[in-house]
Structure 1
Amino acid sequence: MIARAIKNVCLWPKLDSLGGPTSFQRRLMAGLRAQGVEVHHNPEDPDCQVILLIGGTRYLDVLWRARRRGIRILQRLDGMNWLHRRRFMGLRYALRAEYANLNLAFIRRFLADGVIYQSQFARTWWQRVYGGGERWQQVIYNGVDLATFAPYGMHERPADRWRVMVVEGHLRGGSALGLENAIHFVRALQAQETRPVELWIAGDVPEAERAQVTSLAQDVSLTWTGVVSAQRIAYLDRSAHLLFSAELHPACPNAVIEALACGLPVVGFDTGALAEIVVPSTGRVVPYGADPWRLQPPRVEPLVTASREILAGWEAFSRGARQRAEAAFGLEMMTTRYLEAFQAILE
């Protein structure tokens, strides 16, 4: 069979919010256009060959019509909504979360010609809950612009203290538990270090959660940066010594990949896909020490021990982080993998 050239791709829906999916869409769009592919957000485009559905949509009729016209549908999936089952965040939130899970599962089963999972963890999770049987599936990790996220460039990394960074798009509701873990971790690290330790948090954190964490961190040096641009995140990553991955069960955390690209070693607990991304030369992933699915508090002592090892050999870990990003998480590599996926479901 003669391979069909990929000329016209729809990335749908158009995303314009804070967080990983929007960053992914913008990066992939730039990468595809650099390869000469026409990219847009119109699934009704008569020349469209493939729709890459980022998550789900309530407009199922649009997907049905696309299938009838012979357009292939590739669904990109990360994890599922689950925090509402462990921590009450309101009935409306819970209903919306359950609806979103069912919507994603329905499209995956009945409408998608193929599924791209963001990690092995995400694939295993979906297949455990909803079974296998995808028409076609593959794992493709997120990628970043290695020129924007790089160890060289302006920074203000302090020489007289250790700086721990937390970067997340949104931290609210049950997700705020990650910030509490960060406070406990930094406090325990400070207890064993002669050099002062400070915590910087970047991202969208509602005022109520921010006040709660600030109250908990009375004896911890804490700085809130708020929501920042991609260029600012790179600057902040270069200005830190460690990134603490605060999210529980991340499917493929962009903040971790961005940190590695900036040469910032990463530490965190072994939940989600973190152990797939952070290898021994780039940081440390340690056992949680409890049940994260039940939002139980972790054991921070192993994390402190691992972090002190990284800080003692920081330059080597920083080089390892950048090398890992160059080998596995470049934007060009991600774009090539997606082009291959589009080609596979067209054959």
Structure 2
Amino acid sequence: MMRICLVPKLDGVGGMVSFQAKFAQGLLERGYEVCFDLADWPYTAVLVIGGTRDLRGLSQARQRGIPVVQRLNGMNWIHRKRRTGLRHYLRAEYGNWLLSLVRGRLATGIIYQSRFAHNWWERVYGATKSPFRVVYNGVDLSQYSPRGDQERPVDCNRILLVEGSLGGGYEMGLDTAVQLAERLINSYSQRVEVMVVGRVSEALKTAWAEHTKVPLVFTGLVPREKIPFLDRSAHLLYAADIHAACPNSTVEALACGLPVVSFDTGALPELVIGDAGRVVHYGGDAWQLDPPNLDGLARAAAEVLAEQPRFRAAARARAEEALGLDRMVDAYLAALLGT
């Protein structure tokens, strides 16, 4: 029986944790064994999810002739544009260095989560000699589905914002979501609330409670299995992360038939196609965090809210076309096993 080593072993919250759990389950369902330690020999191939500090273990795997495939997201960059503290800055720079080291010297193959991610890495660090492919994140289309329990409000439109954490420079995502809601209320006579799923500091919650009349619902972190219910219970997802490589929250929303509204940064133009939502020109230089095109975002959101059946059906169709879990697992196995 073939065995795949997934490193590093991840826990907590976030896209990488979610991916590792889904991919490991997909491997087990296909009859593969899974391990999470490079010292737990033997194994057929190694998948590095981002980076690992066990460089010696990767080097030894290479010496044994074991394929070492690296899964790459984007890279840390907000810390260079906003003050996030010295500790956060150093950690972010170290993370980029570690990712680039594995990519350039140890990986025998690379999987980029989007064309955007591939272009970004090659622009900053140059091309590598290792073969690569682009594989979008996927979800279980039976679990993440429009069918199931939901509590979508009937007296207002709910904008959903799902992030692991709105901190470390990413607080601006909540800022934009609130301003979007204010424009929908003032310019389009919409009744709107914003639901925020993820870690938000008490200071940030208090600050917004004092500065806006938009109803805000903070759920905190929630179990992964609750996300489909929350997606079905909203009217649109605002994808807040600027230059996201392939945000799981977007993929999950589309699978649940929840339209996505976002700016045209990162991989969003690759994911949100046709009437699966609306992707709006950012309006300035997103890499410099210029003020975004909020009027355009509000127009797009108003259109999605006005024609929910059409957009919800198209969102689900997009997920069925390209964002299923089986499709993703098969593509990763092809890269790992050279098939």
TM-score range, shorter chain: over 0.9
TM-score (norm 2): 0.97
Counterpart of 2:36? 41
Counterpart of 1:276? 270
Q: Mind listing any 5+ residue stretches in structure 1 that lack a counterpart?
A: 1-5
Q: Does residue 245 in structure 1 map to residue 213 in structure 2?
A: no
Matched pairs, number = 339
SS at match of 1:175: coil
Deviation at 1:210, TM superposition (A): 2.9
What is the letter of the counterpart of residue 251 of structure 1?
A
Q: What CA deviation, in whole Å up to 9, does each residue of 1:47-82 have, x standing for no partner?
A: 211110001112211111111122111001101111
Q: Does residue 340 in structure 1 map to residue 312 in structure 2?
A: no
8 Å contact 1:108–1:134 — kept in the other structure?
Answer: no
Answer with 257-266 or 304-313: which moved more. Answer: 304-313
Q: Does residue 32 in structure 1 map to residue 27 in structure 2?
A: yes
Counterpart of 1:77? 72
Counterpart of 2:55? 60
Deviation at 1:171, TM superposition (A): 1.4
Counterpart of 2:3? 8
What is the letter of the counterpart of residue 193 of structure 1?
Y
Q: Does residue 234 in structure 1 map to residue 231 in structure 2?
A: no
Alpha-carbon distance in structure 1 between the residues aligned to 2:45 and 2:203: 43
Answer with 225-234 or 39-48: which moved more. Answer: 39-48
8 Å contact 1:182–1:244 — kept in the other structure?
Answer: yes
Picking from 85, 110, 116, the partner of 1:90 is: 85
Answer with 73-82 or 92-101: which moved more. Answer: 92-101
What is the letter of the counterpart of residue 227 of structure 2?
I
Counterpart of 2:296? 302
Alpha-carbon distance in structure 2 between the residues aligned to 1:93 and 1:178: 18
What is the letter of the counterpart of residue 32 of structure 1?
L
Answer with 191-200 or 159-168: which moved more. Answer: 191-200
Q: Does residue 200 in structure 1 map to residue 191 in structure 2?
A: no
SS at match of 2:218: strand
Alpha-carbon distance in structure 2 between the residues aligned to 1:69 and 1:48: 11
Q: Mind listing any 5+ residue stretches in structure 2 that lack a counterpart?
A: none
Q: What CA deviation, in whole Å up to 9, does each residue of 1:119-153 have, x standing for no partner?
A: 11110000000000231111111011112111111
Alpha-carbon distance in structure 1 between the residues aligned to 2:85 and 2:19: 29
What is the letter of the counterpart of residue 299 of structure 2?
T
Alpha-carbon distance in structure 1 between the residues aligned to 2:243 and 2:210: 26
8 Å contact 1:141–1:329 — kept in the other structure?
Answer: yes
Deviation at 1:224, TM superposition (A): 0.5
Q: What CA deviation, in whole Å up to 9, does each residue of 1:9-42 have, x standing for no partner?
A: 0111110111000000000011111111111112
Counterpart of 1:258? 252
Deviation at 1:92, TM superposition (A): 1.7
Q: What is the root-mean-square deviation of aligned Cα atoms in Å? A: 1.3
Q: What CA deviation, in whole Å up to 9, does each residue of 1:284-334 have, x standing for no partner?
A: 000111222122221211111111111221101101111111111111111
Counterpart of 2:120? 125
Picking from 175, 179, 186, the partner of 2:181 is: 186
Deviation at 1:214, TM superposition (A): 3.3
Picking from 310, 314, 323, the partner of 1:320 is: 314
Alpha-carbon distance in structure 1 between the residues aligned to 2:14 and 2:318: 23
What is the letter of the counterpart of residue 292 of structure 1?
A
SS at match of 2:317: helix
Alpha-carbon distance in structure 1 between the residues aligned to 2:168 and 2:206: 13
Alpha-carbon distance in structure 1 between the residues aligned to 2:153 and 2:52: 45
Counterpart of 1:174? 169
What is the letter of the counterpart of residue 263 of structure 1?
G
Alpha-carbon distance in structure 2 between the residues aligned to 1:148 and 1:124: 32
SS at match of 2:291: coil
Alpha-carbon distance in structure 1 between the residues aligned to 2:261 and 2:113: 20
What is the letter of the counterpart of residue 89 of structure 1?
T
What is the letter of the counterpart of residue 220 of structure 2?
G
8 Å contact 1:44–1:66 — kept in the other structure?
Answer: no
Counterpart of 2:133? 138
8 Å contact 1:190–1:197 — kept in the other structure?
Answer: yes
Deviation at 1:163, TM superposition (A): 0.8
TM-score (norm 1): 0.95
Q: Percent identity?
A: 48
Alpha-carbon distance in structure 1 between the residues aligned to 2:317 and 2:93: 40
Alpha-carbon distance in structure 2 between the residues aligned to 1:209 and 1:78: 27
Alpha-carbon distance in structure 2 between the residues aligned to 1:209 and 1:11: 36
